[in-house]
Structure 1
């Protein structure tokens, strides 16, 4: 508030703790430090915070980057990740995407046997890309179906328990000496450590089977994905990366004996606790005996929370117009957003000190997926994002992304083609004033 980053004319912004992000990377590295013989490439899932300054911070912290689209690949390159530390995942890669990845030397995990055949037609022996195949161990789902990627009918990977699928995977590796990596990702929020570890253990057993049947170390690496869930209930970062590694060691101890290079793809667990949203209370009102605080933070930046509030609850803080904690007896209040539909509520029936016009609320644990990937509903502009570092009395801020201007909103909404439809005709001679087309004198062609 004192820096002017939030105020009446700047009613919404996201904030990221740069020191906290660095600390999270260190915690991840330390947890997987299993010995000098185990090579681990830790990649950050770009979709969790698709902001170039964030990606560059992670690159300079020694991370790699997992990308799932041409746009994310471009962001990773611009952020400075070396191609050898980038992994491309996606269930719908085009030939052009694959050509670019192979030309750059980016690692590629094929999502299906069909994609594997497509890569075979594009791959050349000179490519530096490490090539893998994603499998679905089909170990089941967690409490959030949309976040569970190892169910019987998941759209991701080759379903290992389907009839004949496992044999097809073994044969795929037998036929392609350049195929050297297996990839699996069981899920994330709502999935237990034991469930995730069981899926990775199944993938490890498949690697052992392939190498045993081929009589050579064809599979040299296993990409175990990410998926560590996040605690949204309080400030504690749990489960810890060390707990996840312990679960992996129990389920598949051979994973850490140095025979396989490992790749991880964590996203939310690295960033969520290191960010928050600040939003101004524009109005308050009462309806049906319930106090409602109308703020500028809604479904446009808290999409999952608004549409799945039980799965993605957020903690809310109440502050006055100067940025100091709001005090007073608790009052049951709904924290609503600016979007024009009734369900745009980010927190239902929360007990908070009474909020007033001009106050601010904070939405905690929103460093991943929230303000970095906004939804353009109601043509609401993207909020500014700032990074910060330092201790009390010495906090320094830096812009990560500028607030979107209304000029930019108009440009993205087709301003350059404003007349495109008014001059378009469905048939020769059609008019736009509702009258019949003028066909001209009998025998002559209609005017255009």
Structure 2
């Protein structure tokens, strides 16, 4: 979903939309032009996020199609990837469940209309109150440790309909981004299966709890190659077989495979695909998808990233050390990972004129900087772009997951508006997902109602 950054406007035909998702270059260009015309982007609205509705539905369809031969699967969306109620409701309407990792995400999922039975609660730090609420509602719960299972023993209501599982760490190693790899030797998540005595303790924990019927593992996400994910989930399957053999019956009824399909941020191509993911799992352990166990998936980034983009106004252009610096309104407040880990989270950038049409001209190297008050607030270094000027727009591509939905409040910048877009034959239509935050709302969130608390609030 981009316009190439190395040259002027692309002369290649726009790629066809597929059920794998991802919006086309033409879709982005049409949306930016219409957003400027409609006033969603302007001098007083210098930053906004956009999510292509048809692209999201296509991505969901591609996921279901890839698992079409698997008898029983619940596909859940990882709410942290875009914790906005209208987006969650769109995904619920498209047939997804929801994976949540906090009380806030659980509230959002319920408000978005997900039935409790299609919600899965994961978190390494669940309080007793969170556990009790989930089990009372009938929300599925994956315990992250043996100690958490002991809390579940105390809190599980009689007749609870919640499916309860245990997360294990197969310890198969890290991908290219250590911070996104959750099956390492020292990961904070799950029960580390290769630690001395751990596997036996897990098997015994299931033997003592007939209601414990699910196993969960998540190898990691961005930077984790498919073969690594396949090895981790094959290990999960072997553990399920061992638990069933020890129990002398079929105790494990479902396997939660986590998510983690990486996203290609280098160009428009949607790769790897969900079909490639399924093929990898089949090769790693053919019985994993044969229907003996119900499966749960928890994809997030791969469903939305390539279906969204950010558009930011160029406020100033300056020279520094012989390099052009475009100061824009998109920085670490929306692209936090990109700013602090640019080697792992690069974004593609393209240029548009003040009227929202793709900019043309010889490509010059630009630093694309953000508005935050620290020197490292740069989203792209020496990026070849047509010469930028005040009032132009830059688009950050493949940012439909995490970027505009998980803002950082540094410098108390307002959260940008977010809009769903749907391209018709002759125009693009928009629906407000989140209204741009006002400075008054920032003040209210920052304790305005208790403004005198530290001056005369102690009696």
Instruction: Give the corresponding residue for 1:435.
Output: none
- 2:216 corresponds, among 152, 177, 183, to 183
Is 1:4 paired with 2:39? Answer: yes
Query: How far off its partner does 1:283 sit?
Result: 0.4
Instruction: Give the corresponding residue for 1:33.
Output: 68
In the alignment, the residues of structure 1 paired with residue 136 and residue 38 of structure 2 have an alpha-carbon distance, to the nearest angstrom, of: 46
Is 1:122 paired with 2:155? Answer: yes
In the alignment, the residues of structure 2 paired with residue 47 and residue 158 of structure 1 have an alpha-carbon distance, to the nearest angstrom, of: 23
- 2:382 corresponds, among 349, 360, 368, to 349
Is 1:204 paired with 2:237? Answer: yes
In the alignment, the residues of structure 2 paired with residue 214 and residue 95 of structure 1 have an alpha-carbon distance, to the nearest angstrom, of: 29
- 2:77 corresponds, among 44, 60, 64, to 44
Structure 1: gaps spanning 5 or more residues: 426-447
Please say which structure displays the higher CA radius of gyration: 1
Is 1:263 paired with 2:296? Answer: yes
Structure with more contact order per residue of length (Cα contacts < 8 Å, sep ≥ 6): 2
TM-score w.r.t. length of structure 2 = 0.92
Structure 2: gaps spanning 5 or more residues: 1-35
In the alignment, the residues of structure 2 paired with residue 361 and residue 129 of structure 1 have an alpha-carbon distance, to the nearest angstrom, of: 47
In the alignment, the residues of structure 2 paired with residue 415 and residue 392 of structure 1 have an alpha-carbon distance, to the nearest angstrom, of: 47
Instruction: Give the corresponding residue for 1:14.
Output: 49
Instruction: Give the corresponding residue for 1:400.
Output: 433
In the alignment, the residues of structure 2 paired with residue 11 and residue 329 of structure 1 have an alpha-carbon distance, to the nearest angstrom, of: 25
- CA offsets 1:225-271 (integer angstroms, 9 cap, x no match): 00000000001110000000000000011011111000000000000
- CA offsets 1:254-300 (integer angstroms, 9 cap, x no match): 01111100000000000000000000000000000000000000000
- 2:349 corresponds, among 290, 293, 316, to 316
Instruction: Give the corresponding residue for 1:251.
Output: 284
Are the equivalent residues in 1 in contact too, given 2:221–2:261 (CA < 8 A)?
A: yes
SS at match of 1:387: strand
SS at match of 1:421: helix
Query: How far off its partner does 1:420 sit?
Result: 0.9
In the alignment, the residues of structure 2 paired with residue 339 and residue 246 of structure 1 have an alpha-carbon distance, to the nearest angstrom, of: 44
In the alignment, the residues of structure 1 paired with residue 289 and residue 43 of structure 2 have an alpha-carbon distance, to the nearest angstrom, of: 54
CA RMSD of aligned residues (A): 0.9
Query: How far off its partner does 1:394 sit?
Result: 2.7
Instruction: Give the corresponding residue for 2:373.
Output: 340
Query: How far off its partner does 1:424 sit?
Result: 5.3
Instruction: Give the corresponding residue for 2:421.
Output: 388
In the alignment, the residues of structure 2 paired with residue 81 and residue 70 of structure 1 have an alpha-carbon distance, to the nearest angstrom, of: 15
Is 1:138 paired with 2:171? Answer: yes
Instruction: Give the corresponding residue for 1:441.
Output: none
In the alignment, the residues of structure 2 paired with residue 197 and residue 353 of structure 1 have an alpha-carbon distance, to the nearest angstrom, of: 43
TM-score w.r.t. length of structure 1 = 0.94
Query: How far off its partner does 1:33 sit?
Result: 1.1
Are the equivalent residues in 1 in contact too, given 2:143–2:167 (CA < 8 A)?
A: yes
- CA offsets 1:388-446 (integer angstroms, 9 cap, x no match): 11245231110000000111100011101111111256xxxxxxxxxxxxxxxxxxxxx
In the alignment, the residues of structure 1 paired with residue 290 and residue 222 of structure 2 have an alpha-carbon distance, to the nearest angstrom, of: 29
Instruction: Give the corresponding residue for 2:313.
Output: 280
- 1:331 corresponds, among 364, 368, 374, to 364
| Superposition map of 1:217-256 within 5 A | 217-256=250-289
In 2 relative to 1, CA 332–392 (structure 1 residues): closer, same or farther, beyond 3 Å?
farther
